[in-house]
Amino acid sequence: MNDMTPIKATTPKDWETDQEVRWCPGCGDYAILKAVQRTMPEIGATPENTVFISGIGCSSRFPYYMETYGFHTIHGRAPAVATGVKLANPELDVWIITGDGDALSIGGNHTMHLLRRNLDCQIMLFNNEIYGLTKGQYSPTSRIGTNSPSTPYGSVDRPATPCAFALGSGARFVARGFDVSKNLPEVLKAAHAHRGAAFIEIFQNCIVYNKDVFEDFAAPKGAEDQQLWLKDGEPMLFAKGLKGIALDGDALELKVVDVVDGDWQAAGVIVHNVTNRSIAHMLVEMRFGEFPMALGVLYDDPRPTFNDAVVEQNRAVSEGKVADLSNLLVKGQTWTVADGPEL
Amino acid sequence: MATAFKDETGGAEAPTQSEAVVIRFAGDSGDGMQLTGGQFTLSSALAGNDFATFPDFPAEIRAPQGTLFGVSAFQINFGSSDITTAGDRPDVLVAMNPAALKTNVGSLREGGLIIADTGEFSQRNLDKAKYTANPLEDGSLAKWQLMAFDISALTLESVKPFGLGNKEALRCKNMWTLGLALWMFGRKRQPIIDWLNAKFAKNRVLADANIAALNAGHAYGETAELSGPLKQYNVEAAPAEPGVYRTVTGAEGISYGLVAGAQLAGLKMFFGGYPITPASAILHHLARLKEYGITTFQAEDEIAAIASAIGASYAGQLGVTSSSGPGIALKGEAMGLAIMTELPLVIVNSQRGGPSTGLPTKTEQSDLYQAIYGRNGDAPMPVIAARSPADCFNCAIEAVRIAVRYMTPVMLLTDGYIANAAEPWLVPDMDAYKPFPVEFMEHVPESGRFLPYERNQWGGRPWVKPGTPGLMHRIGGIEKAQNSGHIDYSPANHEMMTKLRKMKIDGIADDMPEQDVTLGEDSGKLAIVGWGSTFGPIHQAVRRQRAKGQDVHHIHVRNIWPLPRNLGDLLKRYEKIIVPEMNTGQFKTVLRDQYLVDARPLNKVSGQPFTIAEIEAAIEQALA
């Protein structure tokens, strides 16, 4: 008898549940779900050691469709629940599924602190720039002027930039993708390979309340001109190599430059270095239109994780100590009342 | 009798015998009154007295010096018989400045002793305390005995050799005063000297100066031939069960009880907390006990504190969170999640005066409705209330037991008074506690199908740790189908699940002791029904009234929800019911609702505990 259970390779099918998927037909969430189910076997994940934790919103139904452990929590609190799960059992592979309203509005505080602490997990923020499940109100990422039931004359407040928020909160891994992108599994794999909090913004098309809002860069037609897929160690080129991103040294900001005869060095195009935090700050702030949309792994520079630090401190301060409750109770000053005749 | 302290003997030679004495130390926030009180408590414990304490301090950390709102006080009642309250009215008031005198002298019993530091009764301090004339000189304190002398100057004199600055030297005043108090009650100085040596181990000069001040205060009592009211009193040791004793505060009792509960359940503990008065002490205690398998997590807010604890419970540890009223309010939605997902969780609420920020450092019992009812939806949750610092230990163990057996969050109520107050505690023998080890589900049951919401004999569902092969499942706050746990909004299912959740909690009443009569018989003219920290004053008031022949009985309820099975029948055997509470009548309303009994309120919401006399007066009035 061999008591070693061989790890059976999984297939995408093994990660599907028997539950009927309840998203609107055509929703971008379907593509993301497929991408995740395709990625899990490739990263060697096991269903029993994987936990998907979500908040509230359309995207947060995600765990019900993954044949893993899953916890559909309350609005905005998935990062806090995930922190308890990971600290209680650091062996678990924790994925947080959240949306723009869940992660940046009601749960903004938890998202910030999870990133600051650097809990080892993946955070997939489905950004559709709208509140879908509550029927279409504008969200913290909606563009100025968004018409919605709660903003019938157009929204007037400035939107948040999720990746800039993440980086500003101390994230050590920031990436971007979009629902139907063929590159999404690669982005997810990179996030999973990063030890620490890995923040992934995924642009997701809400076909009912905010249809095609990312079409300017996500549409297959013209994608070459509008998408800058970043790769570590490679020049930041787009538009079939005819354009690139360079640094304007005087203004200390990025600029688009033309590349002539493929000589990107001469054009001053930057080579992407995923550990360069200064450039990462500029990439997340690049205004789409003037620039292409920066996609892929924008920043990846691991640091010690919160869960490792907690486990290590628990271990170190417990070393050599005996957990004897009876001793603990008589620590400090005590006195004895003797057994004897009635006083 | 808490007030047997009387000036009965004429001479100062033989110590006066007293059964019990109440002494209150009052001074400026910066005068170290809490430390003085704490050390005097320790000396009472070592002398074998029974005691109860009441620390009463302002919410401001260091209020402006000399002001009325900056007064910090510590009261201790110690004696040779059973002590359950900090005492109604002090026999001795130590007033370190005019503000302390003004805010405290009103509660001193007539004929009681005032010890005042004349050195602090400057015009400036009298103005700050809003005195138009010096009360030490104008005869306004005539109904009390007054011992006024320049403690400041005497302290400065005693610490002169150590070359401290004036400000630092004056900070030794509290030790001088403590020295005098130790002399008055014939206490040993050595334990306090040991404590000072340990406290100032890194600053020899401060240790020596404080010890010198302590000795000087003691010597002052010994040698100053005063013919005034200052004299020695002897309080005999109280009879007590044999065994090893220590002092315990409510926060310590809760912390140790949680540790014990987790051990008895065979679980590691995860404590998610956020700083809030008066609950933070529990986080502080547990943060130092990592070797007991405890992870403490100071979360970013109250919601994250409970949410992380729920996450830890989901992952197979004992999740615990703690707060006070405002923080408990923030945790409300997450409590609902724990109820819906049927995960064990202990929520400690150290109640304080409310609503809103209310009275952060003062005590109240006004979160009872919040504990029983304060969530959206039909969200039943067990509630247990501790009656004293020592009782906190057993209540915490019981909260853990119920949480893990019934897969439910449990609210454990204590209050600001219990949390900070100290009393002697017969250290429990842990071998006497029966373990209640948790059994996680680790395999697909023999029926061949794993159902995450299938119920066991207790009405609870299986607890499965993520990481267990073959038992992957999804839970969440959306209504669940019975057995399968799949999302199910159907009307019949919601009705059934609502009833199942209620039945599970109601059923806990079968698994807990029946309600007993704490003092008296199981029928009669008047029952005084209490819960939580009003135990002490109610108990003493009933005892005194019974000694006078009154037909009055004390019923103390520990299990607030569900209520003990027999409570309704028991209450109906008394002609009258009075429910003293530090709120406007919350438990009274619950009892009326549950049993249709004519429970009458006796309420106090001043931020101060009941006095025995207040409850005695209510008994006398009801039976007149």
Q: Is the pLDDT of residue B113 over 60?
A: yes
B345-351 β-sheet, strand order: B294-298, B269-273, B318-323, B345-351, B409-415, B383-385, B559-561
Residues in CB range of A342: below 8 A, 6 or more apart? B239
The chain A residue lying nearest B247, using CA atoms, is A334
Residue A99 — φ and ψ, nearest 5°? -125, -175
Contact at CB, B475 and A72, closer than 8 angstroms: yes
Q: Choose among B240, B336, B478: nearest Cβ to A72.
A: B478
Nearest to B290 among A318, A334, A343 (CB): A318
Helix, strand and coil percent figures for chain A, each rounded to 5 = 35, 25, 45
pLDDT band at A343 (very low <50, low <70, confident <90, very high): very low
Question: In chain B, which residues have their Cβ closer than 8 Å to the Cβ of A317?
Answer: 290-291
CB contact under 8 A, B304 and A109: yes
In the three-class reduction of DSSP (H, G, I as helix; E, B as strand; rest coil), residue A98 is classed as strand
Contact: B291, A318; criterion CB under 8 Å: yes
Chain B positions touching A91 (Cβ under 8 A) are 467
Which pLDDT value is given to residue A4? 53
The more confidently predicted of residues A322 and B17 is: A322
- The verdict on a CB contact (< 8 Å) between B240 and A337 is yes
pLDDT tens digits for range A123-161: 999 999 999 999 999 999 999 999 999 999 999 999 999
Go through A19-50 and write b for each residue having 16 or more CB atoms within 10 A of its CB, e for each that does not.
eeeebeeebbbbbbbbbbbebbeeeebbbbbb
CA atoms lying within 13 Å on the CB side of residue A10: 20
Helices B250-265/B391-406 angle, 10° precision: 40
Tokens of A289: 């239109």
Instruction: Please give the distance of CA B616 from its chain centroid, rounded to a whole number.
Output: 22
CA–CA–CA angle B330, B336, B340 (5° rounding): 160
Residue A187: closest CA among A198, A197, A199, A177: A177
> If you average pLDDT over residues B366-381, what whole number do you get?
97
Measure CB to CB from residue A81 to each of B243, B246, B307 and give the nearest one.
B307
Q: Distance (Å) from the C-alpha of residue A279 to the closest C-alpha of chain B?
A: 29
Q: How confident is the model over B38-56, as pLDDT tens digits?
A: 999 988 888 888 899 998 8
pLDDT category, A2, cuts 50, 70, 90? very low
> What value does the CA radius of gyration of chain B take, rounded to a whole number of Å?
27
Instruction: State whether B476 and A63 contact (CB < 8 Å).
Output: yes
Q: How far is Cα of residue A269 from the mean position of the Cα atoms in its chain?
A: 28
- Chain center to CA of A140: 17
User: CATH assignment of A12-213+304-310?
Assistant: 3.40.50.970
Over the stretch A176-233, which tens digit does the pLDDT of each residue have?
A: 999 999 999 999 999 999 999 999 999 999 999 999 999 999 999 999 999 999 999 9
**ipTM, 2 dp:** 0.96
Mean pLDDT of B414-431: 92
The H-assigned helical ranges of B224-324 are 250-265, 280-287, 302-314
The CA distance from A306 to the nearest CA of chain B, in Å, is 11
How far apart CA B206 and CA B184 sit, in angstroms, is: 25
Distance in Å from the first CA to the final CA of chain B:
23
Q: What's chain A's Rg over C-alpha atoms?
A: 24
> For chain A, what are the domain ranges?
12-213+304-310
Contact by Cβ (8 Å): B372, B307: no
User: Is pLDDT above 60 for B4?
Assistant: no
Residue B101, classed as helix, strand or coil, is helix
pLDDT tens for A245-261 read 999 999 999 999 999 99
State how far the Cα of B152 lies from the Cα of B118, in Å rounded to an integer: 8
Contact criterion met (CB < 8 Å) for B475 and A70:
yes
- Tell me if the pTM is above 0.80: yes
Beta-strand pair A130-131/A121-127: unpaired
> Which residues does chain B have within 8 Å of residue A56's beta carbon, measured at their own beta carbons?
477
> B-chain residues within 8 Å CB-CB of A82?
311
Q: How confident is residue B240, by pLDDT bands cut at 50, 70 and 90?
A: confident
Q: What is the pLDDT of residues B457-496, one digit of tens each?
A: 999 999 999 999 999 999 999 999 999 999 999 999 999 9
Counting residues of chain B whose pLDDT is more than 90, the rounded percentage is: 82
Whose CA is closest to A337, among B85, B250, B50? B50
Nearest C-alpha neighbor of A284 from the set A129, A118, A161, A187: A161
> Given strand B574-581, what is the order of strands in its sheet?
B552-557, B524-531, B574-581, B599-603
Q: How many CA atoms lie within 13 A of B492 on its CB side?
A: 0
Q: Which of B301, B316, B333 sits opposite A88 (nearest CB)?
A: B316
Instruction: Report the mean per-residue pLDDT for chain A.
Output: 95
Distance CA A255, CA A28 (A): 31
